[in-house]
Structure 1
C-alpha cells in the first residue's frame, strides 16, 4: 500500500502499513471509515478473537494519534466520531450475557418517565416510550427487546381530537405491530382515553379490547356516556367478557360502563370508580380487593360495602349520597380497614354524612387523611366559635366507637384567603383532635409532625 494512504483506509490485515497524508485530505477516508464502523456498531459486530481485538486496539491508537495531530476542525470532528465507534466495539456492555442485558433494560424502563408505550394526539401525533428508545440503539438491543414480550405489554392510547382518527393510519398500523410484540400470554397494562364522542372508535382500541383476557391493569377514561360507544367498545361476545388477570382497574366515567366489567367478577385488588351504588356492592364483593377509591357512594350506609369486601385495607371516598331504602336490611360491619382517605386526592371537601358510618366500626384503623371545611364560612362560626360540621362529627363518633389506635393523621385545611386569625386555625385543629384516639407521636397535620405543628409552619391547601 502506498505511503500516502491514510490509516483510516486500512483494514485489520494492513494495520502496520505506513502512511503520510495531510489532514485536509483525510476527510473522504474518515467518512468511509465512519460508515464502516457505524454499521459494525449497529450490528454489534465485535471482534471475537484475541487477534482481532489486538488489531482493533492498534487501530484505535492510530485514530487517537490522528485526532491529536489534526488541526482542521471538520476532519477532527470526523476522527473523533470514528474513534468513539471503534472504542464502542470494545465496550464491556457489548459482551453482556442476555439475561444481564434484559435485567438492565427492566431497571431502565421501570425508573423512566415512560415505562410503557404511549400514543397521544393531544399536542401532536406520536409514539413514545423508553423501550422504543432502547430498541433504536442497535440491532442487538432491538433483537433482545423485541424478543421479550413484557417490554411491550404496557400501552396507552389517548385520542383527543376528531381528526386524529383520520390522519393516523400509519401510526395505528405501527402500534398494532407493537401490540403483536407483546405476544399471546404476557399480561397487559392498558390505558384508553377517548375524549370525542363523535369520532369513530379507533381500530387500535378495538385491538386492545380484543386482548382483554390478558389485561392485568386497565385505566379507561371516557368523557362521554353514550351507550352506543360503550357497546362498540365492548361487544357482548363470550371472548370479550372475561378478565381473569385483571387486578387493577380505574374507570373515569360516570356511566355504568364499569358495571359491565365488574359483572365478570375479575380478581381485583385495586379499584377506582367515579360512582358506586350500594345496590351494586354485592356484585363488587371480593376477598381479594385491598384498595378502593370512589368519588361518590350511594346507599344507606357504608356498612354493606365494607361487609362484602372483608379484606379491604384502604378506602378513599369523596362523598356519600344517602338514599333511604326500607327494603335494604342494615348490616353491622366490623371492618379490617387500615387507611381511610377523605380528601387527600380530591379537589372538593368530602361530604360523608347522613349516617354513612351507621353500624360500622373500624378497630384496625391506623391511618386517617381528612380535609376539614372552609375556615371562613360565617355560618360555621356563630359568635366566633368553631363548630365541626355533621360529617366530621359522624367521623369522630365512629373513630371513638371503634376504639382504634391512630398512628398517622394527615389533616388538611382548605381556606379561601391567606389572612386568617391564628386562634381560628388553632381552635379548629384542637376541636378536631379533641377525644380523638391518637395513640402515637407519628401523627401529622399536612405532613408536619403533630407535636411540632403550629400555624406558622402550616401548608395552606387550596
Structure 2
C-alpha cells in the first residue's frame, strides 16, 4: 500500500514538473521574437543547412534514394507557430535539387514535391536538375513536367547531363508539351556534362525569352553560326570552354554587358562570319581570367578592353 501510494505521488510529481516545464517554455525568449526576426533566423538556418552545389544552396533535395529532405521540414516540426511561419514564406520553398537517378515508380515523392512546389507560390525558382539513367521513365518525366509547368518562374538553372543520351532525353521532355515552355525569368544558367550539336537546341529553348545574366558551361563544341543564334545581350558573367571557331573579339562583342569572363578555349581565329581583318571589338570587361591552349595570337588582336582591371 505504501509503495503504491509512493508511486502515485512520484507520477503526480513528474506530471507536475512536465506542466511547469511546458509553461515556462512558453516564456522562452525565442517565443517572444517578432515574426520578421524569426524569418531572418530561419533564412540563415536554411542557407546553412541546405545542399550546396556550386555557388548556390538548395533548401529542398530529392536524392537518388528517393528521399526528400529539407531544413524547412525540421523547422516546421518544432511548434504550430513555427510551422505557420515556415509554410507562409514562399522563398523557403523555392529552391530544389532534383536527382531523378533510378526513379522508376510512383511514390509519395511526387505528392510531397507537388506540395512543396505549391508552397513556393509565385516566388522565382532555383533548380538543380540531374535526369536519371532509366530509359523511358514515365515517373522521371512526370517529376520534370511538374516543374516545367512553372517554366516562367525559373530564375536559376543548374543542369547536369553526364551522358549524351540524357541530353536527348532532356530535349524530348522539353518538347513534349503542346506549346514550347517560355523561360521568361531565367537569369542564371549553368550547363555541365556532354554537349555537342544538341546544345544548340538546349540553348535556343532556354534562351528564347530569357535575359541571362550569368552563364557557365562545359565544352561547347558547336558551329560558330549556331552559337551566334543565341541572345547574350544581357550577360554579365561568363564561364565557358569553347567554341573553337571565331575570335575572342567576335565572341565578346555579342555580350555588350559582360563584366566578368573566365575563358578556357582553343580559338582557331577562323571566324564563322566573314569580317575584315582590321575590325576591332570593344568590350565592357572588368575582370578576365584565361586559360588558353594552342590559341594563335591573331584570335586576340581584334579585342579592345578599355575597362579591364585585374588580368591573369
**Distance 1:152-1:27 versus aligned 2 partners, 3 A rule:** farther
TM superposition shift of 1:316: 1.2
Moved over 6 A (4+): none
Residue 177 (structure 1) aligned with residue 115 (structure 2)? yes
Instruction: Tell me, yes or no, if the aligned pair for 1:310 and 1:336 is still in contact at 8 Å.
Output: yes
CA distance, structure 2, for counterparts of residue 291 and residue 362 of structure 1 = 15
Greater Rg by CA: 1
Shift of the alpha carbon at 1:296? Answer: 2.2
Whole-angstrom distance in 2 between the partners of 1:267 and 1:234: 19
| Aligned CA distance change for structure 1 residues 172 and 352 (closer, same or farther; 3 Å) | farther
Q: For 1:310-329, list aligned pairs within 5 A.
A: 310-322=256-268, 324-325=270-271, 327-329=273-275
Are 1:213 and 2:213 counterparts?
no
Match runs of 1:449-460 below 5 Å: none
Q: Quickly say closer, same or farther: Cα 1:30–1:223, change in 2 above 3 A.
A: farther
The equivalent of 1:259 in structure 2 is 203
1:63-91 deviation digits (Å, cap 9, x = unpaired):
3xxxxxxxxxxxxxxx6xx6543321111
Q: Residues of 2 paired with 1:145 and 1:192: CA distance?
A: 24
Cα distance 1:100–1:109, how it changes in 2: closer, same or farther (>3 A)?
A: same
Kindly state the Cα deviation for residue 228 of structure 1 after the two structures are TM-superposed: 4.7
Residues 160-192 of structure 1 show CA distances to partners (whole Å, capped at 9, x for unaligned) of 3x3x323x6122321221111111x21111110
Match of 2:172 in 1: 232
Separation in 1, partners of 2:61, 2:306: 43
Alpha-carbon shift at residue 132 of structure 1 (Å): 1.8
2:32 paired with 1:95: yes
| Superposition RMSD in Å | 2.8
Partner Cα separation in structure 1 for residue 230 and residue 246 of structure 2? 17
* Aligned with 1:191 (options 114, 128, 141): 128
Specify whether residues 365 and 28 from structure 1 end up closer, same or farther in structure 2 by C-alpha distance, changes over 3 A only.
same
Q: For residue 295 of structure 1, what is the aligned residue in structure 2?
A: 241
Q: Which residue of 1 aligns with 2:306?
A: 363
Match of 1:334 in 2: 282
Change (3 A) 1:192 1:173: same
1:165 aligns to what SS in structure 2? coil
Q: What TM-score, normalized to structure 2?
A: 0.82
**Structure 1 residues 84 and 283, CA, compared in 2 at 3 Å: closer, same or farther?**
farther
Alignment map for 1:59-458 (pairs within 5 Å) = 63=17, 84-114=21-51, 115-121=58-64, 124-160=65-101, 162=102, 164-166=103-105, 169-183=107-121, 185-196=122-133, 198=135, 200=137, 202=140, 203-226=142-165, 228-235=168-175, 237=177, 239-253=179-193, 254=195, 255-256=198-199, 257-276=201-220, 277=222, 278-322=224-268, 324-325=270-271, 327-330=273-276, 331-343=279-291, 350-351=292-293, 353-354=295-296, 355-369=298-312
Q: How many residues align?
A: 291
8 Å Cα contact 2:131/2:170 also seen in 1: no
Q: In structure 2, do the counterparts of structure 1 residues 131 and 144 end up closer, same or farther at CA, with 3 Å as the change threshold?
A: same
Taking the aligned partners of 1:301 and 1:364, their CA distance within structure 2 comes to: 19
Paired with 1:155 and 1:218, the residues of 2 have a C-alpha distance of 10
Which deviates the most, 242-251 or 89-98? 89-98
Structure 1: stretches of 5+ with no match in the other structure = 5-20, 34-58, 64-78, 344-349, 370-462
- Note closer, same or farther for the CA distance 1:272–1:358 as it changes in structure 2 (3 Å cut): same
Give the C-alpha shift of residue 235 in structure 1: 1.8
Inter-partner Cα distance in structure 2 for 1:326 and 1:100: 56
For the residues of structure 1 that align with 2:202 and 2:247, how far apart are their CA atoms? 21
What is the CA–CA distance in structure 2 between the aligned matches of 1:320 and 1:177, rounded to whole Å? 47
Distance 2:177 2:128 in 1: 22
Structure 2: any 5+ residue segments left out of the alignment?
Answer: 52-57
Aligned to 1:74: none
Asked if structure 2 preserves the Cα contact closer than 8 Å seen for 1:197 and 1:224, the reply is no
CA displacement at 1:28 relative to structure 2: 4.2
| Residue deviations 1:297-330 (CA, integer Å, cap 9, x gap) | 2212111221111110111122224273575225
Q: Give the 3-state SS of the residue equivalent to 1:297 in structure 2.
A: coil
TM-aligned CA distance change 1:238 to 1:266, over 3 Å: farther
Cα distance in 1 between the residues matched to 2:275 and 2:178: 35
